[in-house]
A and B are shown apart, each in its own frame.
Chain A
Amino acid sequence: MEDFENLLGWLSPNREQAAIRYEDIRRRLIRIFMHRGCVVAEDLADETIERVTRKIKEVRKTYGPDDDPAPYFYKVSQFIYKEYRKRICEPVPPPPPEDEGDDDLEPQLDCLDRCLDTLAADDRELILAYYPSQERNIDGRKKLAERVGLSLNALRIKACRIRSALEDCVYECLKKQTNVK
Protein backbone atom coordinates (compact mmCIF):
# COMPACT_ATOMS: atom_id res chain seq x y z
CA MET A 1 0.00 0.00 0.00
CA GLU A 2 2.82 2.33 0.92
CA ASP A 3 4.59 1.44 -2.33
CA PHE A 4 1.46 2.16 -4.31
CA GLU A 5 1.14 5.59 -2.71
CA ASN A 6 4.79 6.12 -3.55
CA LEU A 7 4.10 5.14 -7.16
CA LEU A 8 1.24 7.63 -7.41
CA GLY A 9 3.49 10.29 -5.91
CA TRP A 10 6.05 9.54 -8.60
CA LEU A 11 3.47 9.95 -11.36
CA SER A 12 2.32 13.33 -10.06
CA PRO A 13 2.36 15.29 -6.81
CA ASN A 14 -1.34 15.90 -7.37
CA ARG A 15 -3.24 12.74 -6.44
CA GLU A 16 -6.01 13.24 -8.96
CA GLN A 17 -3.52 13.83 -11.77
CA ALA A 18 -1.55 10.79 -10.61
CA ALA A 19 -4.65 8.60 -10.85
CA ILE A 20 -5.31 9.86 -14.38
CA ARG A 21 -1.72 9.15 -15.46
CA TYR A 22 -1.85 5.73 -13.85
CA GLU A 23 -4.94 4.83 -15.89
CA ASP A 24 -3.37 6.35 -18.97
CA ILE A 25 -0.18 4.30 -18.70
CA ARG A 26 -2.17 1.16 -18.03
CA ARG A 27 -4.39 1.73 -21.07
CA ARG A 28 -1.39 2.28 -23.33
CA LEU A 29 0.44 -0.77 -21.97
CA ILE A 30 -2.64 -2.86 -22.73
CA ARG A 31 -2.66 -1.63 -26.35
CA ILE A 32 1.04 -2.40 -26.71
CA PHE A 33 0.65 -5.93 -25.33
CA MET A 34 -2.36 -6.52 -27.57
CA HIS A 35 -0.40 -5.47 -30.64
CA ARG A 36 2.39 -7.79 -29.54
CA GLY A 37 -0.19 -10.56 -29.90
CA CYS A 38 -0.69 -11.19 -26.18
CA VAL A 39 -4.02 -12.80 -25.38
CA VAL A 40 -3.84 -11.69 -21.73
CA ALA A 41 -2.83 -8.09 -22.40
CA GLU A 42 -4.62 -6.68 -19.33
CA ASP A 43 -2.90 -9.12 -16.99
CA LEU A 44 0.50 -8.28 -18.44
CA ALA A 45 -0.14 -4.55 -18.09
CA ASP A 46 -1.10 -5.08 -14.44
CA GLU A 47 1.97 -7.26 -13.92
CA THR A 48 4.16 -4.50 -15.36
CA ILE A 49 2.70 -1.90 -13.01
CA GLU A 50 3.00 -4.26 -10.07
CA ARG A 51 6.67 -4.89 -10.89
CA VAL A 52 7.33 -1.13 -11.07
CA THR A 53 5.47 -0.62 -7.79
CA ARG A 54 7.61 -3.24 -6.02
CA LYS A 55 10.78 -1.43 -7.08
CA ILE A 56 9.48 2.07 -6.62
CA LYS A 57 11.75 3.05 -3.72
CA GLU A 58 14.97 2.33 -5.61
CA VAL A 59 13.68 3.57 -8.94
CA ARG A 60 12.61 6.97 -7.67
CA LYS A 61 16.11 7.65 -6.39
CA THR A 62 17.51 7.39 -9.89
CA TYR A 63 14.94 9.72 -11.46
CA GLY A 64 14.89 13.49 -11.16
CA PRO A 65 11.64 15.29 -10.23
CA ASP A 66 11.08 16.36 -13.85
CA ASP A 67 11.95 13.01 -15.45
CA ASP A 68 9.10 11.19 -17.18
CA PRO A 69 8.40 7.80 -15.53
CA ALA A 70 6.78 6.38 -18.71
CA PRO A 71 10.01 5.09 -20.35
CA TYR A 72 10.73 3.06 -17.22
CA PHE A 73 7.32 1.42 -17.48
CA TYR A 74 8.12 0.57 -21.08
CA LYS A 75 11.44 -1.06 -20.15
CA VAL A 76 9.73 -3.20 -17.53
CA SER A 77 6.97 -4.12 -19.99
CA GLN A 78 9.62 -5.45 -22.38
CA PHE A 79 10.92 -7.81 -19.67
CA ILE A 80 7.43 -8.94 -18.88
CA TYR A 81 6.80 -9.57 -22.58
CA LYS A 82 9.94 -11.69 -22.90
CA GLU A 83 8.99 -13.72 -19.82
CA TYR A 84 5.50 -14.17 -21.25
CA ARG A 85 6.88 -15.43 -24.55
CA LYS A 86 9.02 -17.98 -22.70
CA ARG A 87 6.02 -19.13 -20.66
CA ILE A 88 3.79 -19.47 -23.71
CA CYS A 89 5.06 -22.45 -25.65
CA GLU A 90 2.18 -22.67 -28.06
CA PRO A 91 1.94 -20.12 -30.81
CA VAL A 92 -1.16 -17.93 -30.93
CA PRO A 93 -3.90 -19.93 -32.67
CA PRO A 94 -4.59 -18.70 -36.18
CA PRO A 95 -7.86 -16.79 -36.56
CA PRO A 96 -10.81 -18.63 -38.01
CA PRO A 97 -11.43 -18.05 -41.71
CA GLU A 98 -13.27 -14.80 -42.20
CA ASP A 99 -16.54 -16.20 -43.48
CA GLU A 100 -16.79 -18.54 -40.50
CA GLY A 101 -15.40 -16.08 -38.02
CA ASP A 102 -18.24 -13.60 -37.79
CA ASP A 103 -19.12 -13.21 -34.14
CA ASP A 104 -22.65 -12.74 -32.91
CA LEU A 105 -23.06 -8.97 -32.82
CA GLU A 106 -26.28 -8.93 -30.79
CA PRO A 107 -24.61 -8.46 -27.38
CA GLN A 108 -22.41 -5.73 -28.91
CA LEU A 109 -25.40 -3.97 -30.41
CA ASP A 110 -27.37 -4.27 -27.21
CA CYS A 111 -24.53 -2.78 -25.15
CA LEU A 112 -23.85 -0.15 -27.79
CA ASP A 113 -27.48 1.02 -27.62
CA ARG A 114 -27.24 1.31 -23.85
CA CYS A 115 -23.97 3.19 -24.07
CA LEU A 116 -25.21 5.51 -26.83
CA ASP A 117 -28.07 6.43 -24.51
CA THR A 118 -25.60 7.55 -21.86
CA LEU A 119 -23.88 10.01 -24.23
CA ALA A 120 -24.81 13.66 -24.41
CA ALA A 121 -27.22 14.19 -27.31
CA ASP A 122 -24.69 16.22 -29.33
CA ASP A 123 -21.99 13.56 -28.92
CA ARG A 124 -24.40 10.79 -29.89
CA GLU A 125 -25.46 12.68 -32.99
CA LEU A 126 -21.84 13.42 -33.90
CA ILE A 127 -20.54 9.88 -33.54
CA LEU A 128 -23.42 8.40 -35.57
CA ALA A 129 -23.08 11.04 -38.28
CA TYR A 130 -19.30 10.58 -38.43
CA TYR A 131 -19.56 7.23 -40.20
CA PRO A 132 -21.45 7.64 -43.46
CA SER A 133 -22.16 4.36 -45.21
CA GLN A 134 -20.96 5.37 -48.66
CA GLU A 135 -17.54 6.13 -50.07
CA ARG A 136 -17.97 9.82 -49.46
CA ASN A 137 -16.38 9.89 -46.02
CA ILE A 138 -14.22 12.92 -46.61
CA ASP A 139 -16.92 15.14 -48.10
CA GLY A 140 -19.39 14.07 -45.45
CA ARG A 141 -16.89 14.76 -42.70
CA LYS A 142 -15.98 18.15 -44.09
CA LYS A 143 -19.63 19.11 -44.01
CA LEU A 144 -20.01 17.71 -40.51
CA ALA A 145 -16.91 19.62 -39.35
CA GLU A 146 -18.37 22.84 -40.76
CA ARG A 147 -21.70 22.13 -39.10
CA VAL A 148 -20.17 21.62 -35.66
CA GLY A 149 -17.62 24.41 -36.11
CA LEU A 150 -14.45 22.33 -35.91
CA SER A 151 -11.48 21.80 -38.19
CA LEU A 152 -11.34 18.39 -39.84
CA ASN A 153 -8.48 17.29 -37.58
CA ALA A 154 -10.28 18.50 -34.44
CA LEU A 155 -13.37 16.59 -35.58
CA ARG A 156 -11.31 13.40 -36.03
CA ILE A 157 -9.92 13.79 -32.53
CA LYS A 158 -13.32 14.51 -31.03
CA ALA A 159 -14.86 11.49 -32.79
CA CYS A 160 -11.94 9.31 -31.65
CA ARG A 161 -12.44 10.40 -28.03
CA ILE A 162 -16.18 9.76 -28.11
CA ARG A 163 -15.57 6.40 -29.76
CA SER A 164 -12.98 5.49 -27.17
CA ALA A 165 -15.36 6.34 -24.32
CA LEU A 166 -18.13 4.37 -26.04
CA GLU A 167 -15.82 1.42 -26.53
CA ASP A 168 -14.89 1.41 -22.83
CA CYS A 169 -18.56 1.55 -21.92
CA VAL A 170 -19.43 -1.32 -24.29
CA TYR A 171 -16.51 -3.35 -22.98
CA GLU A 172 -17.69 -2.89 -19.37
CA CYS A 173 -21.26 -3.72 -20.39
CA LEU A 174 -20.17 -6.92 -22.14
CA LYS A 175 -18.11 -7.92 -19.12
CA LYS A 176 -21.18 -7.49 -16.90
CA GLN A 177 -23.31 -9.53 -19.30
CA THR A 178 -20.73 -12.32 -19.29
CA ASN A 179 -20.63 -12.27 -15.48
CA VAL A 180 -24.43 -12.47 -15.28
CA LYS A 181 -24.47 -15.49 -17.58
Chain B
Amino acid sequence: MANAGNRELSKQEHDVIRRYLLDDLPLQEMERVEEQLLTDASYFEQFSIAEDELIDAYVKGRLAGEERKKFSRHFLAVPGLRQDVNFAKALHQRAAEHERRMATAVPVRIQPVRDKSLFASLFQSPAIGSAMAAALVVAIGMGLWLNTQNRQLRDRIEQLQAQASPAPQAQDLEQRLAQARERENSLNAQLEQAKLERTQAEQKLNEALEQQRRQTGNRNINPTPIPAVLLALAGDRDSGEQNKLQKPTTRRINLQIDLPAKEYSSYSAELKTVDGKRILTRNNLPLTTTANGSRVSFIVNTSLLPPGDYLLIVMGKDANGIKNLDTYPFRILR
Protein backbone atom coordinates (compact mmCIF):
# COMPACT_ATOMS: atom_id res chain seq x y z
CA MET B 1 0.00 0.00 0.00
CA ALA B 2 1.64 3.20 -1.08
CA ASN B 3 2.09 5.91 1.46
CA ALA B 4 3.01 8.99 -0.46
CA GLY B 5 3.07 11.30 2.54
CA ASN B 6 1.01 14.44 2.87
CA ARG B 7 0.65 15.39 -0.76
CA GLU B 8 -2.01 17.83 -1.90
CA LEU B 9 -4.42 16.86 -4.64
CA SER B 10 -4.58 18.60 -7.98
CA LYS B 11 -7.75 20.50 -8.77
CA GLN B 12 -8.73 17.80 -11.23
CA GLU B 13 -8.31 15.05 -8.60
CA HIS B 14 -10.33 17.16 -6.21
CA ASP B 15 -13.16 17.50 -8.72
CA VAL B 16 -13.18 13.76 -9.37
CA ILE B 17 -13.46 13.04 -5.65
CA ARG B 18 -16.25 15.57 -5.26
CA ARG B 19 -18.15 13.96 -8.13
CA TYR B 20 -17.55 10.53 -6.59
CA LEU B 21 -18.94 11.76 -3.29
CA LEU B 22 -22.04 13.09 -5.03
CA ASP B 23 -22.48 9.78 -6.84
CA ASP B 24 -21.92 11.52 -10.12
CA LEU B 25 -19.09 9.52 -11.74
CA PRO B 26 -19.31 6.86 -14.44
CA LEU B 27 -18.60 3.35 -13.15
CA GLN B 28 -15.11 3.06 -14.62
CA GLU B 29 -13.92 6.27 -13.00
CA MET B 30 -15.60 5.27 -9.77
CA GLU B 31 -13.60 2.06 -9.72
CA ARG B 32 -10.41 3.98 -10.33
CA VAL B 33 -11.11 6.18 -7.33
CA GLU B 34 -11.98 3.20 -5.17
CA GLU B 35 -8.87 1.24 -6.09
CA GLN B 36 -6.74 4.25 -5.26
CA LEU B 37 -8.57 4.64 -1.97
CA LEU B 38 -7.46 1.15 -1.01
CA THR B 39 -3.91 1.33 -2.28
CA ASP B 40 -2.79 4.89 -1.56
CA ALA B 41 -2.84 6.03 2.05
CA SER B 42 -2.20 9.65 1.17
CA TYR B 43 -5.01 9.68 -1.38
CA PHE B 44 -7.37 8.19 1.19
CA GLU B 45 -6.45 10.93 3.64
CA GLN B 46 -7.09 13.67 1.08
CA PHE B 47 -10.34 11.93 0.14
CA SER B 48 -11.39 12.00 3.80
CA ILE B 49 -10.62 15.72 4.01
CA ALA B 50 -12.67 16.40 0.86
CA GLU B 51 -15.49 14.29 2.28
CA ASP B 52 -15.46 16.19 5.59
CA GLU B 53 -15.44 19.50 3.73
CA LEU B 54 -18.39 18.50 1.57
CA ILE B 55 -20.36 17.37 4.62
CA ASP B 56 -19.48 20.64 6.37
CA ALA B 57 -20.66 22.63 3.36
CA TYR B 58 -23.99 20.80 3.49
CA VAL B 59 -24.38 21.23 7.24
CA LYS B 60 -23.61 24.94 7.02
CA GLY B 61 -26.07 25.41 4.15
CA ARG B 62 -23.40 26.19 1.59
CA LEU B 63 -24.48 23.47 -0.85
CA ALA B 64 -27.25 24.59 -3.11
CA GLY B 65 -29.42 23.43 -5.99
CA GLU B 66 -28.60 20.22 -7.75
CA GLU B 67 -25.54 19.53 -5.60
CA ARG B 68 -27.57 19.72 -2.42
CA LYS B 69 -30.15 17.33 -3.87
CA LYS B 70 -27.46 14.88 -4.93
CA PHE B 71 -25.85 15.11 -1.51
CA SER B 72 -29.14 14.43 0.29
CA ARG B 73 -29.94 11.51 -1.99
CA HIS B 74 -26.54 9.95 -1.48
CA PHE B 75 -25.60 10.76 2.11
CA LEU B 76 -28.91 10.71 3.92
CA ALA B 77 -29.96 7.33 2.52
CA VAL B 78 -27.08 5.33 4.00
CA PRO B 79 -27.08 5.10 7.80
CA GLY B 80 -23.29 5.28 8.08
CA LEU B 81 -23.07 8.41 5.94
CA ARG B 82 -26.08 9.95 7.62
CA GLN B 83 -24.31 9.45 10.90
CA ASP B 84 -21.33 11.38 9.52
CA VAL B 85 -23.70 14.24 8.73
CA ASN B 86 -25.13 14.18 12.25
CA PHE B 87 -21.64 14.06 13.70
CA ALA B 88 -20.70 17.13 11.67
CA LYS B 89 -23.82 18.96 12.90
CA ALA B 90 -22.92 18.17 16.51
CA LEU B 91 -19.28 19.15 16.01
CA HIS B 92 -20.23 22.47 14.42
CA GLN B 93 -22.66 23.18 17.23
CA ARG B 94 -19.97 22.62 19.84
CA ALA B 95 -17.43 24.60 17.81
CA ALA B 96 -19.86 27.53 17.58
CA GLU B 97 -20.45 27.39 21.34
CA HIS B 98 -16.71 27.28 21.86
CA GLU B 99 -16.28 30.29 19.58
CA ARG B 100 -18.92 32.22 21.52
CA ARG B 101 -17.26 31.28 24.80
CA MET B 102 -13.90 32.42 23.50
CA ALA B 103 -15.42 35.66 22.24
CA THR B 104 -17.03 36.39 25.60
CA ALA B 105 -14.15 35.04 27.69
CA VAL B 106 -12.02 38.12 27.13
CA PRO B 107 -14.74 40.69 27.83
CA VAL B 108 -15.72 38.76 30.95
CA ARG B 109 -12.19 39.07 32.33
CA ILE B 110 -11.38 42.55 31.22
CA GLN B 111 -14.80 44.11 30.94
CA PRO B 112 -17.24 41.84 32.76
CA VAL B 113 -20.50 42.75 31.00
CA ARG B 114 -21.44 44.58 27.87
CA ASP B 115 -24.46 46.23 29.42
CA LYS B 116 -22.87 49.37 30.91
CA SER B 117 -25.73 50.19 33.23
CA LEU B 118 -25.67 46.72 34.72
CA PHE B 119 -21.93 46.79 34.97
CA ALA B 120 -22.06 50.09 36.79
CA SER B 121 -24.88 49.06 39.09
CA LEU B 122 -23.07 45.87 39.98
CA PHE B 123 -19.92 47.74 40.96
CA GLN B 124 -21.93 50.29 42.92
CA SER B 125 -22.18 47.62 45.58
CA PRO B 126 -18.90 48.20 47.44
CA ALA B 127 -18.86 44.76 49.01
CA ILE B 128 -18.98 42.98 45.67
CA GLY B 129 -17.46 45.44 43.28
CA SER B 130 -14.21 46.44 44.89
CA ALA B 131 -13.39 42.99 46.22
CA MET B 132 -13.94 41.33 42.89
CA ALA B 133 -12.18 43.92 40.83
CA ALA B 134 -9.14 43.75 43.09
CA ALA B 135 -9.16 39.96 43.17
CA LEU B 136 -9.42 39.75 39.40
CA VAL B 137 -6.66 42.26 38.75
CA VAL B 138 -4.31 40.64 41.26
CA ALA B 139 -5.08 37.13 40.08
CA ILE B 140 -4.69 37.95 36.39
CA GLY B 141 -1.50 39.92 36.99
CA MET B 142 -0.03 37.19 39.13
CA GLY B 143 -1.00 34.54 36.64
CA LEU B 144 0.72 36.45 33.82
CA TRP B 145 3.84 37.08 35.87
CA LEU B 146 4.07 33.46 36.98
CA ASN B 147 3.55 32.25 33.45
CA THR B 148 6.46 34.36 32.25
CA GLN B 149 8.64 33.18 35.13
CA ASN B 150 7.71 29.62 34.37
CA ARG B 151 8.53 29.92 30.71
CA GLN B 152 11.89 31.48 31.49
CA LEU B 153 12.67 28.73 33.93
CA ARG B 154 11.72 26.05 31.45
CA ASP B 155 13.99 27.62 28.86
CA ARG B 156 16.75 27.70 31.44
CA ILE B 157 16.21 24.04 32.31
CA GLU B 158 16.31 23.11 28.66
CA GLN B 159 19.54 25.04 28.25
CA LEU B 160 21.03 23.29 31.25
CA GLN B 161 19.89 19.91 29.98
CA ALA B 162 21.41 20.65 26.60
CA GLN B 163 24.69 21.62 28.23
CA ALA B 164 24.75 18.69 30.63
CA SER B 165 27.45 16.18 29.72
CA PRO B 166 29.63 13.70 31.58
CA ALA B 167 32.27 16.46 31.88
CA PRO B 168 33.72 17.48 35.28
CA GLN B 169 30.99 20.12 35.86
CA ALA B 170 28.21 17.52 35.49
CA GLN B 171 27.57 17.25 39.21
CA ASP B 172 27.37 20.98 39.57
CA LEU B 173 25.01 21.23 36.61
CA GLU B 174 22.80 18.50 38.01
CA GLN B 175 22.61 20.35 41.28
CA ARG B 176 21.63 23.57 39.52
CA LEU B 177 19.15 21.66 37.44
CA ALA B 178 17.58 20.18 40.57
CA GLN B 179 17.36 23.65 42.12
CA ALA B 180 15.79 25.04 38.99
CA ARG B 181 13.28 22.20 38.94
CA GLU B 182 12.45 22.79 42.58
CA ARG B 183 11.88 26.45 41.86
CA GLU B 184 9.76 25.57 38.85
CA ASN B 185 7.64 23.24 41.00
CA SER B 186 7.17 25.96 43.54
CA LEU B 187 6.19 28.43 40.83
CA ASN B 188 3.83 25.87 39.36
CA ALA B 189 2.11 25.54 42.70
CA GLN B 190 1.84 29.34 42.94
CA LEU B 191 0.51 29.47 39.39
CA GLU B 192 -2.15 26.88 40.24
CA GLN B 193 -3.07 28.94 43.30
CA ALA B 194 -3.32 32.09 41.18
CA LYS B 195 -5.46 30.23 38.64
CA LEU B 196 -7.72 29.04 41.42
CA GLU B 197 -8.03 32.53 42.86
CA ARG B 198 -8.94 33.78 39.43
CA THR B 199 -11.53 31.01 39.05
CA GLN B 200 -12.94 31.90 42.45
CA ALA B 201 -13.04 35.58 41.61
CA GLU B 202 -14.81 34.77 38.36
CA GLN B 203 -17.16 32.49 40.22
CA LYS B 204 -18.01 35.27 42.68
CA LEU B 205 -18.57 37.53 39.73
CA ASN B 206 -20.84 34.91 38.18
CA GLU B 207 -22.81 34.61 41.38
CA ALA B 208 -23.17 38.36 41.62
CA LEU B 209 -24.25 38.54 38.00
CA GLU B 210 -26.75 35.78 38.60
CA GLN B 211 -28.11 37.65 41.61
CA GLN B 212 -28.29 40.80 39.51
CA ARG B 213 -30.01 38.89 36.75
CA ARG B 214 -32.60 37.54 39.16
CA GLN B 215 -33.24 41.03 40.46
CA THR B 216 -33.49 42.67 37.07
CA GLY B 217 -35.01 39.80 35.15
CA ASN B 218 -32.32 40.34 32.51
CA ARG B 219 -31.47 37.11 30.73
CA ASN B 220 -28.60 38.37 28.63
CA ILE B 221 -25.86 38.42 31.18
CA ASN B 222 -22.99 36.04 30.65
CA PRO B 223 -21.50 33.78 31.77
CA THR B 224 -23.79 31.16 33.33
CA PRO B 225 -22.62 30.51 36.87
CA ILE B 226 -21.21 27.12 37.71
CA PRO B 227 -22.87 25.81 40.87
CA ALA B 228 -20.50 24.37 43.45
CA VAL B 229 -21.25 21.26 45.48
CA LEU B 230 -19.16 20.20 48.44
CA LEU B 231 -18.91 16.42 48.63
CA ALA B 232 -18.65 14.55 51.93
CA LEU B 233 -16.23 11.67 52.39
CA ALA B 234 -17.47 8.06 52.22
CA GLY B 235 -18.04 6.84 55.77
CA ASP B 236 -18.90 10.28 57.11
CA ARG B 237 -22.08 9.98 59.04
CA ASP B 238 -24.04 12.19 56.73
CA SER B 239 -22.29 11.48 53.46
CA GLY B 240 -25.18 9.38 52.13
CA GLU B 241 -27.62 12.24 52.54
CA GLN B 242 -25.24 15.09 51.75
CA ASN B 243 -24.05 13.64 48.51
CA LYS B 244 -27.46 13.28 46.90
CA LEU B 245 -27.59 15.95 44.23
CA GLN B 246 -30.55 17.20 42.28
CA LYS B 247 -30.11 16.72 38.53
CA PRO B 248 -28.02 19.77 37.53
CA THR B 249 -29.72 22.31 35.32
CA THR B 250 -26.49 24.02 34.28
CA ARG B 251 -24.02 22.79 31.69
CA ARG B 252 -21.25 22.41 34.23
CA ILE B 253 -20.99 21.71 37.92
CA ASN B 254 -18.13 22.34 40.31
CA LEU B 255 -17.58 19.38 42.66
CA GLN B 256 -15.52 20.39 45.68
CA ILE B 257 -13.74 18.21 48.19
CA ASP B 258 -12.29 19.22 51.54
CA LEU B 259 -8.91 17.75 52.42
CA PRO B 260 -7.19 17.86 55.80
CA ALA B 261 -4.14 19.85 54.63
CA LYS B 262 -1.97 20.38 51.58
CA GLU B 263 0.29 17.35 51.80
CA TYR B 264 0.94 16.65 48.13
CA SER B 265 2.53 18.64 45.33
CA SER B 266 -0.52 18.16 43.12
CA TYR B 267 -3.93 16.55 43.21
CA SER B 268 -5.90 14.70 40.60
CA ALA B 269 -9.27 13.00 40.58
CA GLU B 270 -10.98 10.28 38.64
CA LEU B 271 -14.72 10.21 38.09
CA LYS B 272 -16.28 6.76 37.72
CA THR B 273 -19.67 5.15 37.76
CA VAL B 274 -20.22 2.83 40.73
CA ASP B 275 -19.74 -0.15 38.47
CA GLY B 276 -16.23 1.04 37.69
CA LYS B 277 -16.68 2.64 34.26
CA ARG B 278 -14.21 5.52 34.03
CA ILE B 279 -15.80 8.78 32.92
CA LEU B 280 -12.90 11.18 33.06
CA THR B 281 -9.74 12.09 34.90
CA ARG B 282 -8.48 15.55 35.73
CA ASN B 283 -4.92 16.34 36.80
CA ASN B 284 -3.50 19.36 38.65
CA LEU B 285 -6.78 20.21 40.33
CA PRO B 286 -6.93 23.74 41.68
CA LEU B 287 -6.42 23.81 45.45
CA THR B 288 -7.38 26.47 47.91
CA THR B 289 -6.74 26.87 51.63
CA THR B 290 -9.75 26.84 53.94
CA ALA B 291 -10.14 27.34 57.68
CA ASN B 292 -9.89 23.59 58.32
CA GLY B 293 -7.39 22.56 55.67
CA SER B 294 -7.62 22.76 51.91
CA ARG B 295 -10.20 22.28 49.18
CA VAL B 296 -9.91 20.97 45.63
CA SER B 297 -12.36 21.73 42.82
CA PHE B 298 -13.38 19.49 39.97
CA ILE B 299 -15.46 21.11 37.23
CA VAL B 300 -17.36 18.59 35.16
CA ASN B 301 -19.70 18.80 32.21
CA THR B 302 -23.14 17.75 33.45
CA SER B 303 -23.90 15.87 30.25
CA LEU B 304 -21.49 13.27 31.64
CA LEU B 305 -23.62 12.88 34.74
CA PRO B 306 -27.02 11.41 33.97
CA PRO B 307 -28.98 10.30 37.05
CA GLY B 308 -27.08 7.51 38.80
CA ASP B 309 -24.38 6.69 41.31
CA TYR B 310 -20.83 7.90 40.94
CA LEU B 311 -17.49 7.76 42.69
CA LEU B 312 -14.98 10.56 42.73
CA ILE B 313 -11.55 9.22 43.64
CA VAL B 314 -9.06 11.83 44.77
CA MET B 315 -5.34 11.20 44.34
CA GLY B 316 -2.29 13.06 45.58
CA LYS B 317 1.10 13.15 43.91
CA ASP B 318 4.42 13.59 45.65
CA ALA B 319 8.02 12.46 45.20
CA ASN B 320 7.01 8.85 45.95
CA GLY B 321 4.40 8.76 43.23
CA ILE B 322 0.61 8.92 43.05
CA LYS B 323 -1.49 7.75 45.97
CA ASN B 324 -5.26 7.21 46.20
CA LEU B 325 -6.43 9.45 49.03
CA ASP B 326 -10.16 9.08 49.36
CA THR B 327 -13.32 8.12 47.54
CA TYR B 328 -16.37 10.37 47.48
CA PRO B 329 -19.58 8.65 46.43
CA PHE B 330 -22.46 10.75 45.18
CA ARG B 331 -25.79 10.30 43.52
CA ILE B 332 -27.46 12.39 40.86
CA LEU B 333 -31.18 12.22 41.46
CA ARG B 334 -33.76 12.02 38.71
**Nearest-neighbor residue (CB-CB) of A101 within chain B:** B76
The segment out of A2-10, A49-57, A129-137 that lies at the interface is: A129-137
Residue of B1, B93, B303 near A70 (CB, 8 A) is: B1
| Residue A59 CB within 8 A of the other chain | no
Question: Which B residues from 66 to 87 make CB contacts under 8 A with A?
Answer: 72-74, 76-84, 86-87
Known contacts A30-B80, A95-B77; is-contact A131 B95 (Cβ 8 Å): yes
B280 within 8 A of A: yes
Q: Which residues of B contact A29 (CB under 8 A)?
A: 38
Pick from B38, B73, B81: contact of A25, CB below 8 A. Answer: B38
- Interface size in chain B (residues, C-beta < 8 A): 50
Contact digits for A68-91, partner B, Cβ 8 Å, 1 yes 0 no: 101101100010000000000000
Is residue A16 within 8 Å, beta carbon to beta carbon, of the partner chain? no
Q: Tell me the smallest distance from the CB of A154 to a CB of chain B, in Å.
A: 7
Complex: A140 Cα to B95 Cα, angstroms? 13
Q: Judging by beta carbons under 8 Å apart, are A70 and B280 in contact? A: no
- A interface residues, how many (CB within 8 angstroms): 58
Does A38 have its Cβ within 8 Å of any Cβ on chain B? yes
Given contacts A105-B89, A163-B91, contact A171 B83 (CB under 8 A): yes
A34 interfacial by beta-carbon distance below 8 Å = yes
Nearest A residue to B20 via CB reads: A35
* Interface pairs (26), CB distance under 8 Å: A29-B38, A34-B81, A35-B74, A37-B77, A42-B80, A73-B38, A74-B34, A105-B89, A105-B90, A108-B89, A108-B90, A109-B93, A114-B304, A117-B280, A128-B99, A130-B95, A132-B99, A133-B92, A133-B99, A153-B6, A157-B49, A160-B45, A163-B52, A163-B91, A166-B91, A171-B83
